[in-house]
Structure 1
Amino acid sequence: MREQPEQQAPPVQRLRVRYAKRGRLRFTSHRDFSRAFERAVFRARVPMAYSSGFNPHPRISYAGAAPTGSASEAEYLEIALAERAEPDQVRRDLEDALPAGLDVLAVAESPGGSLADLLTASRWRIDTAADPEALAGAVTRFLDADSVTVERMTKKGMREFDCRAAVVTLTADGGSLDLVLHHTVPAVRPDDVLTGLRQLTGLHTGDAPLLTRLEQGTLAEDGSLRDPFA
């Protein structure tokens, strides 16, 4: 009979990590980032806890990753440790081990519970080449609409969904948009909202608008986001 694998001890500490994707590193896919992060914790000698089984892997939980191609100042993950460590030292060690553009912003001890449950909405800045007056008018028409249906190719094929329903707030500031999106199923992305604006109003936003996630957290009644580290 095949020998049973060694059972790993349960983690003694969990840390939550906030990191950024900047510059050209915004084109890093979630799979590529997860590989880079696993290499980083190994190089940084972070005392990771590992899963049991024939192929143990470091205990890393990812939540709410931004779409490939978008920048972000508010990406989150959680790591489980086999030994206790000082969060700020882990932050410095990871920062040194990751490439520039994948930047660790904060590390804090997890109070328990699900990290994903604390990430119910995101605030985005969308920088476009649109005429400011036309952009403001398009936002007004979009917000006045009961629904705005768009299509996007997903892993399950072409999906059609209402991008208006997920928009909590949307304002224009010059050629930029400030957008708060509720995390829905299926997920509505900021580029879906741009598609909806174009389809509804004929708005020209330029060839490559820059999408940047500024915040991610729990949606409050006033439309603000509660920091998952708070």
Structure 2
Amino acid sequence: MARKDPPQQPPPVQRLRVRYAKRGRLRFTSHRDFSRAFERAVFRARIPMAYSSGFNPHPRMSYAGAAPTGSASEAEYLEIALAQVLVPSEVHALLDEALPPGLDILEVVESPGGSLADRLEASRWRIDLSVPAAELQAAVKAFSDADEVLVERMTKKGLREFDARGAVLSVMASGAEGELARLDLVLRHGVPAVRPDDVLTALTAVSGTPMGEAPLMTRLAQGPLEESGAIGDPLL
């Protein structure tokens, strides 16, 4: 007996883009754990999701530019497809109530179309470090003066070497004399992706100064890179 084709699901009638934050202890939530928590939140909130076709239909959600596990973020993004048209502000309230504190919905808007991932061209990071400000400033100067700073990181394909300097659009150290330091960092997204911890490894490599233990990394923004060097809003 021939196997029947799986039922085809109707196409989505609405797409919404969501900006959310990872805060406090929830910054240690992995991308996989967040996606599971978000699917449970959608179910609890009774949001009428559109589903994929096939023998194992799943809700249509697409994630873009997820921050590394352990880093906080004020600018994480995803897109959901719905089977009914809803008011974005109502979806915002329903999702925020269904998610645990620390995984916070910040904005929900109608999708303007196109690829969300393609609009996430750069990120701005704030990194608080347990090193003296003067030492970080010296490391930043050495890094900025270099044409290339190679670092290594273990990836799914094994140990990989790449240039951390080329992805850095701007980097600035702050902190008064005798105080601990803060790094303001803007990274261009690319392949391979350069992460904030790669830049910390590079700073240590060029200066010989360890960047301390347990840095607090927070993504403040991500979006299209404007001609001025600012990061635009990817939801517009």
The interval holding the TM-score normalised by the smaller chain is over 0.9
1:118 aligns with 2:119: yes
Distance 1:59 1:110 in 2: 14
The aligned residue for residue 131 of structure 1 is: 132
Distance 2:61 2:135 in 1: 44
Matched residue type, 1:223: G
The aligned residue for residue 216 of structure 2 is: 210
Note the 1:1-230 alignment, pairs <5 A.
Answer: 1-174=2-175, 175-230=181-236
Question: Normalized against structure 1, the TM-score is what?
Answer: 0.99
Q: CA deviation at 1:204?
A: 2.9
Task: Give the percent of matched residue pairs that are identical in Structure 1 and Structure 2.
Answer: 70
Distance 1:223 1:137 in 2: 24
Q: CA deviation at 1:220?
A: 1.1
Distance 1:41 1:57 in 2: 12
**Please, which runs of 5 or more residues in structure 1 have no aligned partner?**
none
Matched residue type, 2:225: L
The aligned residue for residue 178 of structure 2 is: none
Q: CA deviation at 1:181?
A: 0.1
User: What's the CA shift string for 1:80-128, capped at 9, x where partnerless?
Assistant: 0000000010010000111111100000000100000100100000100
User: Aligned with 1:90: secondary structure?
Assistant: helix
Q: CA deviation at 1:2?
A: 1.8
Q: CA deviation at 1:202?
A: 1.4
User: What's the CA shift string for 1:143-164, capped at 9, x where partnerless?
Assistant: 1100000000011110100000
Question: Normalized against structure 2, the TM-score is what?
Answer: 0.96
Q: CA deviation at 1:205?
A: 2.2
Q: CA deviation at 1:229?
A: 1.6
Distance 2:8 2:190 in 1: 37
Distance 2:99 2:210 in 1: 37
Greater shift in the superposed pair: 153-162 or 129-138: 129-138
User: Aligned with 2:70: secondary structure?
Assistant: coil
User: Aligned with 1:114: secondary structure?
Assistant: coil
**Please, which runs of 5 or more residues in structure 2 have no aligned partner?**
176-180
Matched residue type, 2:205: Q
Distance 1:4 1:223 in 2: 51
Q: CA deviation at 1:3?
A: 2.1
Distance 1:173 1:49 in 2: 47
Q: CA deviation at 1:6?
A: 1.2
User: What's the CA shift string for 1:159-217, capped at 9, x where partnerless?
Assistant: 10000000000001110000000001000000000000011101232211011000000
Distance 2:228 2:196 in 1: 21
- The Cα RMSD (Å) is 0.7
User: Aligned with 1:164: secondary structure?
Assistant: coil
User: What's the CA shift string for 1:3-57, capped at 9, x where partnerless?
Assistant: 2221011000000000001111111111111111111101011110000000000
Distance 2:56 2:150 in 1: 44
